[in-house]
Amino acid sequence: MENIERKRLAVLVGCNYPNTRNELHGCINDVLTMRDTLVSRFGFDPSDIQLLTDAAAADAGSGGSSSVLPTGANIKKALGEMVDQAKPGDVLYFHYSGHGTRIPSLKPGNPFRQDEAIVPCDFNLITDVDFRQLVNRLPKGASFTILSDSCHSGGLIDKEKEQIGPSHVTETSNKSSSISSKSSKPKAIPCETILHHLSSLTGINTSDIATHLLELFAADASLKFRLPPLEVLDLFESSKPDEGILLSGCQANETSADVTNAVMTGGKPCGAFSNAVQMVLKDHEVELSNKKFVLLARQVLKEQGFEQHPCLYCNDENADATFLSQSQE
């Protein structure tokens, strides 16, 4: 009975940052392709998929394209609404393709650590704290899968157990690269670049990125910058297994590639990880566990010559659960 009632909800975000020095080319293609895959392969209703891109609506494709820009506030609003309407047994999915960054940690006791964030089109960073808070709000029995095709994406849900990553899977470097550096670009914006951009808007002379974000975005800024440090710490205190599932395009210290002219996509720009995901799905009609799915994507990228290693972070049960499905009881 629960299987009949189960809903599948998705938020898809593609940021190409057009006409800027940070411009990418394959991110909108990534989420448009995934939208079609969610409907045809996984049974999502198109009306339950929200698409946010920084292209004009006419360029975002037909059939439910969205003119909602992927600003930090809009992305968090879409994700919050998705989580708030979720019920036990529902399957939630967030696919992000765009730039990532690393910022100095604000957590007590971690003065030298860096935390991961995604970079919306307005540079209003969405951090690991925001994703942790969303996962903590999930109703029991609902799952939330995040697939982030961005640089430094390996730590986007902090405190999630590493299933595949630098500590559990070691691989030698790819022996030869089939991808020219001229046809790919890392999907990363250094923190210094973000700081320079924000300070040019605020006119405030400080290297504290939180000051700029709070000045520009106030209540729409990340919880990392708005909450007192001890309240941030409280979000990460619970050690019980949760239903957050992170498939990252690379390890936290790596970059993910935006490919502008890849042979494997017929010259169509794409994210290397998003494209590997599509290749795995095409080559495997059977259902795949999250763990097997990520291992196969790693193999695809290795064979193509990319120096990035997708990771999986989730509890043990969800590692063996079917990608975009619930464990069968």
The fold of the 2-320 domain, in CATH, is Rossmann fold (3.40.50)
Strands annotated E in 143-187: 143-149, 162-164, 184-186
Identify the active-site residue in 15, 151, 250, 311: 151
Q: Is 99:189 a contact under the CB 8 Å cutoff?
A: yes
Identify the active-site residue in 25, 95, 99, 212: 99
Q: What does the pLDDT read at residue 169? A: 61
Helix (H, G, I), strand (E, B) or coil at 76: helix
Closest by CA position to 159, among listed 110, 86, 208, 92: 110
The pLDDT of residue 329 is above 50? no
User: Percent of the chain scored above 70 by pLDDT?
Assistant: 84
Q: pLDDT tens digits, residue range 115-158? A: 899 999 999 999 999 999 999 999 989 999 999 999 989 888 87
Residue-wise burial string across 233-271, b where 16 or more C-beta atoms lie within 10 A, e elsewhere: eebeeeeeebbbbbbbbbbbebbbbbbbebebbeeebbb
- The question of whether 151 is a catalytic residue gets the answer yes
Q: What is the DSSP pairing of strand 257-259 with strand 184-186?
A: antiparallel
The pLDDT of residue 297 is above 70? yes
Q: pLDDT tens digits, residue range 264-289? A: 556 789 999 999 999 999 999 889 99
Q: pLDDT tens digits, residue range 38-97? A: 999 999 999 999 999 998 643 544 444 456 899 999 999 999 999 999 999 999 999 999
286's CB contacts (< 8 A; 6+ apart) are: none
Each domain of the chain, given as residue ranges in start order, spans 2-320
> How many Cβ atoms are within 10 Å of 131's Cβ, its own excluded?
27
CA 289, CA 247: separation in Å to the nearest integer? 12
- Report in angstroms the alpha-carbon separations of 161 from 139, 154, 182, 235, 315: 20, 11, 36, 16, 6
